[in-house]
Structure formats: structure tokens, C-alpha cells
Amino acid sequence: MQNQEAPVLAAIDIGSNTIHIVVARCLPASLEILLDEQEIVRIGESVTADGEISAQKLEETISVLSHYKTLAAHYTSSPVLVVATEAIRKACNSQQFLTAIRSATDLVVHIIDGIVESILTFYGATYELYQEPHPPSQLAVLDLGGGSMELVTARNKQIIWHTSVPLGSGWLHDRYLSSDPPSEEDLEVARTFLNTYIAGLRFKQRPPALIATGGSANSLLLLARRALNLPEHETRLTYEQVVRCEGLLSELPAEEISRRYEQPLKRARILPAGALIINALMINLQLSEIRVSTHGIREGVLLAHARYGDQWLQCLQQNTQSSGQENGIVIAPGDEQEETFAQSGTRLLLERMHKMLEWRSEVLKHEDIEAVHKMRVASRRLRAVLDAYETACDAKRFKKVYRKVKELADILGKARDTDVMVANLQPQLTQTPGESQAGLQWLIKCLNAYRQAHQDKLEAFLRTLDEDAFIQQMMSCLPEGENRDGKG
């Protein structure tokens, strides 16, 4: 775009993982990008852990925003447009966060809801595509952020369906993939959650083409270029390439991924979670490839302002209120026997509960240490299903059941970890010189005592567990006859 009369504006997006600025010369249907920078701050990390934005994250945010405001001033004297998304939406101290930012930087931050976020992302991710001679008549846009995921489907440039759900790469990493690289057990539990959660969304229709944007999608494309020798101009990722990248991320630690493939270390730590989500979506939507865009919500803000002026946000909010969609999630029509979201939750929770409890008698026999491991894995899978159906549940009952399942999983984990340590040390006794054997024997004796304490705790928990009452308590979390439609 060569229109020098077009206004120059700056937009900043405060996300769960990153803070991102774009400065551009703006027309209602096109942009000339002048500046594009981002910084990984991971505000969502503290929100997931404590429910609020920490003082450290606030300080980092103010530092980045002050720098961005200075950058923007080199290009434009217009006010900087700033939006905030999922992590700030969820934080219990969000208003204090906004007040502190305004006091320190004089920037006004707008917290936008998930539906407005999805529409802005669609504007930003597709404006270049729609300038091509033959754009697809039907497509979908995925914005995978750190704390949320937005999906939009469109036909002939008109949005026909949109949703925003609180599932992002940072959230999945913090909840399930804390080891580096992720363990196979952690990956399996995360996949269990994703398969359950995404299946529960029940997309109205499967799009023939998908444009993916956001940090995870672009970092995955960069990884494919560096590791799989994709051409630099290539913007498409096949399912096979996503799987190969996921394999690399599950084998190499983040520092190695960062060093070998030019990834920022903070991004490399959460990229395995992003790859898992993209993989699961491609499977569910039956897509053999996706197209990756560097543009998203920031460009959408600039285009919206170019179209609607200073009232851009109010106009978008009015449009979403008149669209008739309450939460963007549409239940596909089906016959009378089709399960509702709550019904599928009841079925899956029962299945996972029985899978876990079937190891109870084996664990109490104390004959096979692998029984503890099997029950631990089953308990983590049960927690994954509970995570997937949390907002379809009665909040008070859910917390009580979740605490009990987590308590059992933690006891099983400590018992299992001690079993592994003792098992690894035993073979070393025969290979250790005589003068060192005493120390090793002492360590094994201490570990056995520690193990016995946890075994006693585990046995006490299992012997006093009323299976029927526990199952009934879990089933009461999902009210009969209700049809709630997933998170968000």
C-alpha cells in the first residue's frame, strides 16, 4: 500500500504469553506494516498459578509498554490502541492491573471479551488473503494464544460462526507439561484432556481450509523451516510436519530447541503445548494442512479503527450482541440419541473413574509396584477429563471432587517416585566398592522407610474410600438434563 495520506496508528495486544506491538499505515481493507515487535512476558503463568497478576509480571508489563509507547511515538502522535485478552480477563486483580498501567504509562487498556477477540483476529489474519485474485470462499481462522483459543469460520468473507475458549499453550503447559522435555506420561495425559475437550466443542461444520495465527503457530512454522528444511517463503504446514515437530519437542529440552532452531527460550518452553493443541485440532477437523499467518488481533484492531473510527470497539460489541450467539459454541444438529456435552461428561467421568478404581485391589496387595504406577496414570487421566468438563459442573461439588482426586494422585505419585528411586539404586549395590556400600545401603534404608510411610498413607486412603459414594459424588457434579457447552 503506497497511500501516504492514510493515517499511521499503533496497536498493542497484551496476551497471556506475549505483549505485541504493530505500527501501520491504515486503510479499512489494507495495512502497510511499519513496525512489528513482541516480548514474551507470560502474564498467564502467574494467573494460572495464583489467580492474579503478580507484582513481577506487572512490573515487566509496564516496562515493555513504556518501551513500546516510545517506539510508537517515532511514527505517530495518535493515541496507542491497547487491548488485553484471556489472562487479564481471568485475573482477580485485573482492574488494579489496568489502573497501575494507566498511572505509569498513560495508556488506556481495553479488556476485550473472547468473541470480540475472535472477530478482530479474523480481520487481521485474512486481510492479505482476501486481496489475492482467488481467495477461498470458505475458511476458518484459529488464533492460538497463551490462555485462550479463538476460532472463526467464514463464507464469502462473512463470519458465520465464532467461538473463544480458555485453552491456550501457556495454560496447557502450566497444567500438564511442566517437565523439560515433557515426559511421555505427561504428554499422554495432556492428549487425553485435549481429545476430550475439543470433541466436546462439536464444531458446527469442518472448514476446508484453516489459517492459524498466534505465537505457537508461527513458532511451529519457524521450527519446521529450521528442522525440516522448509523454504523460507513457505507458509503451510502439513499434518506430517506438525507430528515431526511435535516429536522433536518431546525429545529435546527447551534450551537445545532454542539453540538449534533459533527459538526464544521462553517460547521453546511452551511450544510443545502449542504443537499438541494444533495437532489435536487438525485431527478433529480432519485437516491435512494449515496455513500460518503472522497477522492477528493487532492488525484487526487497526483495521477496525480504520473502518469505524474511535468508536471501533463499541461497534464490534454491538455487532456481537446482535448476532444471536450467546457463547459462540454451536451444538451440531443430530438425532434424538446424540449426546449433550453434559451427557458425554457423565459417560467419560464414569469410564475414567472405573479405570482408576480397578487398580485399587492390586495396589492393596503390595505384590506389584507397577500397580501403583498404573493407578497413578489412571488418576491423572481422570483429572484431565475433570478439567475438560469443569464449567459444565456445579462449582462447589466440582472443587470437592477435584481435591479428592488430586489428593489421591499426589499420594500415588510420591509412592511411585520412591519405588523408582529404590529400584534404580538396588542394582548399584553389586557394582559399588565395599567401602562405599554402607553409605548406599543407608540411603536405600532411608528411602524404604520413606516409601513405607507413603505406602501406609496410600493404604489408609484406599481402605477408607467408599467407591459407591465417591462415584455418586462425582456424578452429582454434572446436573441431569442440563446442556452446558464446554469452557468459556
Q: What is the pLDDT of residue 487?
A: 39
Residue 428 has pLDDT above 50, yes or no: yes
Residue 323 has pLDDT above 80, yes or no: no
Q: What is the pLDDT of residue 484?
A: 44
Q: How many domains does the chain have?
A: 3
Residue 414 has pLDDT above 60, yes or no: yes
Residue 333 covered by a domain: no
Residue 7 CB-density burial (10 A; 0-12 exposed, 13-18 middle, 19+ buried): middle
For residues 390 and 283, membership in a common domain is answered with no
User: Are residues 19 and 61 in contact, defined by beta-carbon separation less than 8 angstroms?
Assistant: yes
For residues 177 and 270, membership in a common domain is answered with yes
Residue 198 covered by a domain: yes
For residues 119 and 265, membership in a common domain is answered with yes
Which residues sit opposite 140 in a β-bridge?
153, 210
End position of a domain, from candidates 51, 77, 112: 112
Residue 322 covered by a domain: no
Q: Which of 180-184, 268-272, 415-419 is predicted with the least confidence, judged by mean pLDDT?
A: 415-419
For residues 272 and 241, membership in a common domain is answered with yes
C-alpha cell recorded at residue 381? 487421566
Instruction: Tell me the pLDDT band of 223, cut-offs 50, 70 and 90.
Output: very high
How far, in Å, CA of 340 to CA of 91, rounded? 30
Instruction: Tell me the pLDDT band of 391, cut-offs 50, 70 and 90.
Output: low
pLDDT above 90 as % of the chain: 36
Instruction: Tell me the pLDDT band of 250, cut-offs 50, 70 and 90.
Output: very high
Q: Which of 125-139, 171-185, 270-284, 418-432 is predicted with the least confidence, judged by mean pLDDT?
A: 418-432
Residue 431 has pLDDT above 80, yes or no: no
Q: What is the pLDDT of residue 218?
A: 92
* Among 227, 281, 271, 279, CA closest to 250: 271
For residues 55 and 90, membership in a common domain is answered with yes
How far, in Å, CA of 313 to CA of 20, rounded? 19
For residues 158 and 77, membership in a common domain is answered with no
Residue 468 CB-density burial (10 A; 0-12 exposed, 13-18 middle, 19+ buried): exposed
Residue 188 covered by a domain: yes
The reply to whether omega before 231 is within 30° of 0 (cis) is: no
Inter-CA distances, 426 with 160, 421, 444, 451, Å? 63, 9, 8, 14
Q: Which amino acid is at 209?
A: A
pLDDT digits (tens, 9 = 90+) for 175-217: 889 899 999 888 988 888 898 788 766 666 788 889 999 889 9
Q: What is the pLDDT of residue 2?
A: 53
End position of a domain, from candidates 265, 297, 329: 297
For residues 273 and 152, membership in a common domain is answered with yes
Instruction: Tell me the pLDDT band of 282, cut-offs 50, 70 and 90.
Output: very high
C-alpha cell recorded at residue 33? 506494516
Q: Which of 114-118, 132-136, 420-424 is predicted with the least confidence, judged by mean pLDDT?
A: 420-424
For residues 138 and 248, membership in a common domain is answered with yes
For residues 87 and 136, membership in a common domain is answered with no
pLDDT digits (tens, 9 = 90+) for 331-382: 233 333 445 566 767 888 888 889 899 999 998 888 888 888 889 888 888 8
C-alpha cell recorded at residue 138? 470458505
For residues 74 and 130, membership in a common domain is answered with no
* Among 150, 152, 187, 149, CA closest to 170: 149
Residue 307 covered by a domain: no
Residue 21 covered by a domain: yes
C-alpha cell recorded at residue 28? 479499512
**For the domain that residue 226 is a member of, what is the CATH number?**
3.30.420.150
- 51 phi, psi to nearest 5 deg: 80, 0
Q: What is the pLDDT of residue 327?
A: 36
Q: What is the pLDDT of residue 342?
A: 67
Residue bearing the bigger pLDDT, 240 or 42: 240
3-state secondary structure labels for all residues of 231-250: CCCCCEEEHHHHHHHHHHHH
Q: Which of 212-221, 256-265, 449-458 is predicted with the least confidence, judged by mean pLDDT?
A: 449-458
Q: How many CB atoms lie under 10 A from the CB of residue 46?
A: 20
Choose the most confident range, by mean pLDDT, from 4-13, 92-101, 149-158, 473-482: 92-101
Q: What is the pLDDT of residue 476?
A: 86
Choose the most confident range, by mean pLDDT, from 23-32, 45-54, 272-281, 425-434: 272-281
Q: What is the pLDDT of residue 204?
A: 66
User: Are residues 150 and 162 in contact, defined by beta-carbon separation less than 8 angstroms?
Assistant: yes
63-71 contacts: CB < 8 A, separation 24 or more? 64/19, 64/39, 65/12, 65/14, 65/19, 65/101, 65/104, 65/105, 65/107, 66/104, 66/105, 68/10, 68/12, 68/19, 68/21, 68/37, 69/105, 69/107, 71/10, 71/21, 71/23, 71/35, 71/37
User: Position of cell 499505515?
Assistant: 25
Q: Which of 149-163, 370-384, 416-430, 439-453 is predicted with the least confidence, judged by mean pLDDT?
A: 416-430
How far, in Å, CA of 50 to CA of 36, rounded? 31
Q: Model pTM?
A: 0.70
Q: What is the pLDDT of residue 24?
A: 94
Q: Which of 260-274, 297-311, 367-381, 387-401 is predicted with the least confidence, judged by mean pLDDT?
A: 387-401
For residues 134 and 81, membership in a common domain is answered with no
**For the domain that residue 61 is a member of, what is the CATH number?**
3.30.420.40
Residue 486 covered by a domain: no
C-alpha cell recorded at residue 12? 498493542
End position of a domain, from candidates 72, 95, 112: 112
Q: In terms of residue numbers, what domain contains 148?
A: 115-297
Residue bearing the bigger pLDDT, 202 or 97: 97
Q: Over the chain, what is the mean pLDDT? A: 84
- 299 phi, psi to nearest 5 deg: -65, -35
Most distant CA pair in the chain, distance: 85
User: Are residues 140 and 154 in contact, defined by beta-carbon separation less than 8 angstroms?
Assistant: yes
Residue 335 covered by a domain: no
Residue bearing the bigger pLDDT, 319 or 446: 446
Q: What is the pLDDT of residue 320?
A: 66
C-alpha cell recorded at residue 457? 498413607
Q: What is the pLDDT of residue 328?
A: 37
SS3 for 293? Answer: coil
Instruction: Tell me the pLDDT band of 434, cut-offs 50, 70 and 90.
Output: low
For residues 62 and 134, membership in a common domain is answered with no
